[in-house]
Structure 1
Amino acid sequence: MTGPHLAFLGLGSMGSGMALRLLDSGFPVTVHNRTADRARPVAAAGAALAASAAEAADAADVLVLSLADDKAVDEVLFGQVTLRPGMLVINTSTVSPGYARGAAAKASAAGARWVDACVVGNPAQAREGTMRVLASGAPEDVEAAGPVLRALGGTVLPLGPVGRAPAMKLAFNLLLGAQVASLADAVRYGEHAGLDRDLLLAAIGGSGFSSKVMSFRAEVMRSGAYEPAAFRAALMHKDLRLVVEDARELGLDLAVTDCAAAYFGQAIAEGNGDADAAVVGAAKE
């Protein structure tokens, strides 16, 4: 294997795919996941398995994070790992722009470098390396991260200073959440108006009003196959709340986004947080 030694922390559906892709691309990779069972398939593919995040990071030149939220990144990066001068942190986790800027400053104080690498795609694309990667950070740091970013994505889009990539990713997820919530409303209305649910979903998915995202979620709603999730309802809710909170700090009121977030909050309250975001359009008994 060639290239810098990577520590990959966080092996959910996206993280596992990315770690496997990096192995396929020739990088030596050490992995750690809080739930050890999720790390074993990646270890079986050739990754070294670390007993802790600290152990993984100690063996690596580059630290790649794929964690759930700001809190998880903070706990791992500043509570479990010892950052070293020159270490490159590539954060693929979706966090708030403000958190990214603060974390980058804390990493810099320890002599480490930070690059936002927000990924747009699904678990299959993560495994194939065909995602779109949104990158932000100091130009020299983004350049240093380039081999890893290009292994992960068919397109790498540099966006400027730290925080810009998370803002772009949240703008994308705002559109995703609003579309899925609107699709759920359209189906609910159509059913109550006497339309056949399957026929309506098929018609929407194949219409000029659709998109790749909407046709995919329409099929998930039609089939009722909400697990395994391509994008969990709980993560969708988290991202929409990050948008709303950041918008408030910017003096904006995003009423549509706020309303869409409530749909996914209700899904969590109903015990469906781990199901695909399309669960907000599930047929009611």
Structure 2
Amino acid sequence: MTGQVAVIGLGGMGGGMARALLDAGHAVTVYNRTREKAEPLERAGAILASSAVEAGTHADTVLLSLADEPAVEEVLFGELVWQLRPQTVLIDTTTVSPSYARTTATRLAASGVRRLETCVMGNPAMAAAGKLRLFVSGDRAALDTVDEVLSALAQEVRYLGEAGRASALKLALNLLLGIQTAGLAEATAFAEAAGLDRELMLDVLLHSGWRSPVLGFRAEFMQRRVYRPAAFRTALMHKDLGLALDQAAAYQVELPLGHEAATRFGSAIAAGHADDDAAAVVEVAPPSKENRR
């Protein structure tokens, strides 16, 4: 069995992954800025740390599940990195840009910490059940040393190659997710404007060839009109679309649908839905033409 695993960041995905590791028999230390998110895991057998440094200092493997690049800067480079033992494996599941991922790998090299950049596919329930799909890039040798950890988390683990590739895949998939979710919201708005009942329209979708696991998952939120607890927060969707758009500009690739989707999720945040599931975009009217100028 792999040694001590520290899980830092216990949102829906991080908390679910910590639960799966505990269920698989791993020794797990957890830390989250908001203590109450860690307490159920403590009751399930995890050791509750008072800081990221305390969680990571004695760990063989550190799993990061943070919100964004500033959080990585604060937690990893502001507190943690120089306290980790050389050869510690860092499984970083935070969604960041490919450019930032490559820079992070370079910055960590001097510390001896081995980084596995990890694109996580799934939702919090799948995380808790150990049924995620993981696409990993970075230190190939480190991948073999944490095989038991990754196997506890995922039904599939695939290695993609050099740093930046897992982040690129994650942003490409979340770009598609954002566009599809915004499109579903728009189709629902059209149906309601035509006098159709939302529940009818979405029920037809859920029992038709148009259904997909992704659209079905968001459609169920829209049917219930209840968006918490969120599986993927609107604020994070908007953040990931922004990362994809910024990186696309560097690649000189046009993403007009991505721009439109980002605008829609920005409107949802402005309307107070930042912490709701991204499906809440259905509750927000699209911005007027005047506001787009």
On whether the aligned pair clears a TM of 0.5, the verdict is yes
Residue 283 (structure 1) shift = 7.7
Residue 3 of structure 1: SS of its match in structure 2?
Answer: coil
Contact 1:3 1:26 in 2 (8 A): no
Q: How does 1:20-31 map to 2 (within 5 A)?
A: 20-31=19-30
Structure 2, unmatched stretches of 5+, are 286-293
Q: How does 1:203-242 map to 2 (within 5 A)?
A: 203-242=204-243
CA deviations 1:14-37 (Å, max 9, x no partner) are 111100111111211111101111
**Alpha-carbon distance in structure 2 between the residues aligned to 1:232 and 1:88:** 28
**TM (normalized to structure 1)?**
0.96
**Counterpart residue type for residue 167 of structure 2:** P
Task: Find the counterpart in structure 1 of residue 198 from structure 2.
Answer: 197
Q: Which moved more, 1:264-273 or 1:209-218?
A: 209-218
Structure 1 residue 80 corresponds to structure 2 residue 53: no
Contact 1:221 1:279 in 2 (8 A): yes
Contact 1:117 1:135 in 2 (8 A): yes
Cα 1:240–1:185 change in 2 (3 A) is same
Task: Find the counterpart in structure 2 of residue 141 from structure 1.
Answer: 142
**Counterpart residue type for residue 171 of structure 1:** A
CA deviations 1:139-190 (Å, max 9, x no partner) are 2122223221111110111111111111111111111111110001101111
Q: How does 1:107-122 map to 2 (within 5 A)?
A: 107-122=108-123
**Alpha-carbon distance in structure 2 between the residues aligned to 1:153 and 1:19:** 12
Cα 1:14–1:46 change in 2 (3 A) is same
Contact 1:30 1:59 in 2 (8 A): no
Structure 1 residue 40 corresponds to structure 2 residue 59: no
Structure 1 residue 5 corresponds to structure 2 residue 4: yes
**Alpha-carbon distance in structure 1 between the residues aligned to 2:15 and 2:210:** 33
**Alpha-carbon distance in structure 1 between the residues aligned to 2:267 and 2:236:** 13
Contact 1:115 1:141 in 2 (8 A): yes
Contact 2:2 2:146 in 1 (8 A): no
**Alpha-carbon distance in structure 1 between the residues aligned to 2:57 and 2:139:** 24
Contact 2:2 2:149 in 1 (8 A): no
Contact 1:133 1:156 in 2 (8 A): yes
Contact 1:83 1:107 in 2 (8 A): no
**Alpha-carbon distance in structure 1 between the residues aligned to 2:170 and 2:147:** 19
CA deviations 1:237-276 (Å, max 9, x no partner) are 1111111111111111101011101111111111111101
Residue 158 of structure 1: SS of its match in structure 2?
Answer: strand
Contact 2:58 2:84 in 1 (8 A): no
Task: Find the counterpart in structure 1 of residue 290 from structure 2.
Answer: none
Moved over 6 A (4+): none
**Alpha-carbon distance in structure 1 between the residues aligned to 2:203 and 2:261:** 23
Residue 194 (structure 1) shift = 2.1
**Counterpart residue type for residue 175 of structure 1:** L
Residue 161 of structure 2: SS of its match in structure 1?
Answer: coil
**Counterpart residue type for residue 238 of structure 1:** K
CA deviations 1:200-234 (Å, max 9, x no partner) are 11112222122111122112111112111111111
Structure 1 residue 51 corresponds to structure 2 residue 50: yes
Structure 1 residue 177 corresponds to structure 2 residue 165: no
**TM (normalized to structure 2)?**
0.93
CA deviations 1:107-158 (Å, max 9, x no partner) are 1111111001221101110000001111111221222232211111101111
**Alpha-carbon distance in structure 1 between the residues aligned to 2:163 and 2:277:** 30
Contact 2:228 2:277 in 1 (8 A): yes
Residue 228 of structure 1: SS of its match in structure 2?
Answer: coil
Contact 1:23 1:46 in 2 (8 A): yes
Q: Which moved more, 1:77-86 or 1:49-58?
A: 77-86
**Counterpart residue type for residue 275 of structure 2:** D
Contact 1:68 1:235 in 2 (8 A): yes
Residue 110 of structure 1: SS of its match in structure 2?
Answer: coil
Residue 261 of structure 2: SS of its match in structure 1?
Answer: helix
Residue 155 of structure 2: SS of its match in structure 1?
Answer: strand
CA RMSD of aligned residues (A): 1.3
Task: Find the counterpart in structure 1 of residue 259 from structure 2.
Answer: 258
**Counterpart residue type for residue 219 of structure 2:** A
Task: Find the counterpart in structure 2 of residue 272 from structure 1.
Answer: 273
Contact 2:89 2:115 in 1 (8 A): yes
